[in-house]
């Protein structure tokens, strides 16, 4: 993990999250799945005026009345308590009661009309011989409010089918205007600006609109007895406003690195005019070369501080303004220039940047192989060795103190994308600079003969092992935002990338088997049918790498 001394923001403890429960009451409408929503009071402390699903805080009494509820096998005490809380809240807020009579009949509107929402819920249920249908309440998701907010909740989003014969009636105190909507319609109204919803509601509806009916939702939830997703979003700044990201989304890892305690201050706008601090000892400058192959541009990284000097990782193209900005951000004190590989968006800036510096720092990396294309010829001043250490230490400190106050990069040889590709690990902070081997938002092109799919997959395994061995939690790619998080997110990203490659290879093999006399272009159309056709010329390079790997393994 990054050293606290290198964090940009001082540590602050997020406010504790209070346990609450929300229930999505579902029904099958004439045009598909519908969900019951209601508008919160304009004076509510949390999300005033927002359209939400009914729910509220889990009370101590909810855990004391398990005997009034029916549970299904596998429904443990905690989810049972949460289901009871959601049933209670749906009655108090919307007059909907998920309960049965002893003969199995659902409570109807007549039963509900005899209940007083202001009086003890459990006493009234017990007096009428009703049993709470907690066995029909399933966990869909689990949300925790953003870390930066002063009022936070941990909320299971539960789902249940709306009982027949009941009509929702808002309490007109906390909730107003109950309405049945298809998820897509609620999202369209929100986009039009006349149906305000908060982030977890929006993201939940986005997932829910993919289900055709209530049965499909309940089946998906019942299969695992676990949330389909768990999220505590992170917030950054884009275009001068707050934007939120879930764990699987592109900017989440960067926000976790830069603002671990939820400080919603990090700008996420891509630009090439100024360096972006990620830690006190890591800065990123994105080259002005955006495109289909480079995304927002090539990321150049500066590792170090004014006391140690700096190492530049991937100086990028030979763009004079970009290189001068790197030089100025380092105060001219560049001790080394490392190229992760020799492709033309990574290495050409090395020599012009070196020429700006006095004394001249060495250009480091691996020389291009004979298989490299003409535009990717590269010869460093010194060839780096696998596991070699590149150290930046403050002067005048003993060795242990110098290491702890310094910045040490370990070289990892990772052929696959290119024969001379390498990655670097910043040992003191658990950061992996992945070059083009791991990208954020796209997959790496493996272009034979310099690219090799067998080598690429083996290097993924090596990086996975390296992350475990060296405690790497964050991956800083040459294109896109930082990947990772404080848990096992970096390892998960690598595993997901490997699985994607294996799945693609299975599609290539299936295409070959379905068209044994076909050409690579024929197989490309089948194996990459999910990729825009304009990208097929690029995809064909990786297809050829998969074909070479398949052929080699068949032999």
Distance of CA 241 to the CA centre of its chain: 20
pLDDT tens per residue, the chain (555 residues)? 999 999 999 999 999 999 999 999 999 999 999 999 999 988 887 889 999 999 999 999 999 999 999 999 989 999 999 999 999 999 999 999 999 999 999 999 999 999 999 899 999 999 999 999 999 999 999 999 999 999 899 999 999 999 998 999 998 888 889 999 999 999 999 999 999 999 999 999 999 999 999 999 999 999 988 999 999 999 999 999 999 999 999 999 999 999 999 999 999 999 999 999 999 999 999 999 999 889 999 999 999 999 999 999 999 999 999 999 999 999 999 999 999 999 999 999 999 999 999 999 999 999 999 999 999 999 999 999 999 999 999 987 877 788 889 999 999 999 999 999 999 999 999 999 999 999 998 899 999 999 999 999 999 999 999 999 999 999 999 999 999 999 999 999 999 999 999 999 999 999 999 999 999 999 999 999 999 999 999 999 999 999 999 988 865
Residue by residue, DSSP assigns 482-531 as -EE-SSSHHHHHHHHHHHHHHHHHHHHHHHHHH-TT--HHHHHHHHTTTS
CATH value of 270-494 in 3.30.465.10, 2.60.120.10, 3.40.30.10, 3.60.15.10:
3.60.15.10
Tell me the Ramachandran region of residue 25: left when phi exceeds 0, alpha when psi lies from -120 to 50, beta otherwise: beta
Cα angle at 14 between 49 and 475, to 5 degrees? 105
Contact criterion met (CB below 8 Å) for 96 and 25 = yes
Helices and strands in the chain, H and E counts: 15, 25
Domain ranges of the chain: 17-232, 235-264, 270-494, 504-554
Between the alpha carbon of residue 154 and those of residues 330, 346, 482, the distances in Å are 43, 44, 26
Cα(141)–Cα(220) distance, integer angstroms? 11
Greatest Cα pair distance, the chain, in angstroms, is 89
The structure's pTM equals: 0.92
> Domain 17-232 belongs to what topology?
Nucleoside Triphosphate Pyrophosphohydrolase (3.90.79)
């Amino acid at each position: 993990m990054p050293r606290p001394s290198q964090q940009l923001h001082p540590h602050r403890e997020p406010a504790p999250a209070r346990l609450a429960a929300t229930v999505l009451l579902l029904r099958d409408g004439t045009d598909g799945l519908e969900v019951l929503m209601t508008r919160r009071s304009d004076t509510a402390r949390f999300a005033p005026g927002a359209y939400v699903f009914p729910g509220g805080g889990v009370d101590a009494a909810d855990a004391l009345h398990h005997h009034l509820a029916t549970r299904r096998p596998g429904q443990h005490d905690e989810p049972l308590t949460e289901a009871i809380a959601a049933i209670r809240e749906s009655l108090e807020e919307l007059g909907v009661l998920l309960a049965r009579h002893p003969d199995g009949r659902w409570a109807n509107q007549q039963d509900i009309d005899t209940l007083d929402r202001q009086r003890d819920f459990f006493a009234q249920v017990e007096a009428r011989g009703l049993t709470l249908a907690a066995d029909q309440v399933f966990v869909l998701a689990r949300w925790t409010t953003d870390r930066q907010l002063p009022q936070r909740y941990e909320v299971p989003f539960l789902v249940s089918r709306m009982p027949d014969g009941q009509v929702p009636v808002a309490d007109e105190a906390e909730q107003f205007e109950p309405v049945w909507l298809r998820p897509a319609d609620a999202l369209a109204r929100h986009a039009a600006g006349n149906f305000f919803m908060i982030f977890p509601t929006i993201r939940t509806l986005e997932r829910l609109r993919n289900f055709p009916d209530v049965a499909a939702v309940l089946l998906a939830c019942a299969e695992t007895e676990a949330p389909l997703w768990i999220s505590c979003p992170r917030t950054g700044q884009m275009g001068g406003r707050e934007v939120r990201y879930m764990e699987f989304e592109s900017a989440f890892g960067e926000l976790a690195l830069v603002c671990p305690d939820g400080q919603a201050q990090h700008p996420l706008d891509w630009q090439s005019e100024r360096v972006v601090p990620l830690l006190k000892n890591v800065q990123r400058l994105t080259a002005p070369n955006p495109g289909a192959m480079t995304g927002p541009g090539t990321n150049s990284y500066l590792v170090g501080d004014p006391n140690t000097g700096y190492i530049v990782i991937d100086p990028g193209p030979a763009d004079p303004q970009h290189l001068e900005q790197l030089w100025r951000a380092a105060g001219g004190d560049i001790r080394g220039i490392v190229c992760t590989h020799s492709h033309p968006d990574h290495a050409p800036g090395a020599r012009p940047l070196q020429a700006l510096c006095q004394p001249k720092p060495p250009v480091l990396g691996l020389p291009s192989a004979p298989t490299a294309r003409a535009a990717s010829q590269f010869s460093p001043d010194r060839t780096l060795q696998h596991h070699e250490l590149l150290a930046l230490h403050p002067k005048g400190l003993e060795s242990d103190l110098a290491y702890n106050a310094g910045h040490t990069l370990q070289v990892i040889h990772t052929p696959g994308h290119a024969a001379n590709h390498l990655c670097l690990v910043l040992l003191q902070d658990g950061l992996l600079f992945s070059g083009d081997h791991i990208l954020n938002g796209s997959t790496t092109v493996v272009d034979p003969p310099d690219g090799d799919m067998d080598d690429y997959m083996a290097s993924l395994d090596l990086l996975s092992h390296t992350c475990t061995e060296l405690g790497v939690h964050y991956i800083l790619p040459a294109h896109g935002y930082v990947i990772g998080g404080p848990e096992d997110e970096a390892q998960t990203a690598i595993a997901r990338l490997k699985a994607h490659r294996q799945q693609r290879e299975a599609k290539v093999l299936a295409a070959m088997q379905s068209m044994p006399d076909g050409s690579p272009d024929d197989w490309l159309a089948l194996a990459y049918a999910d990729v825009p056709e304009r990208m097929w010329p690029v995809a064909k390079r990786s297809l050829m790498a998969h074909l070479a790997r398949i052929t080699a393994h068949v032999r």
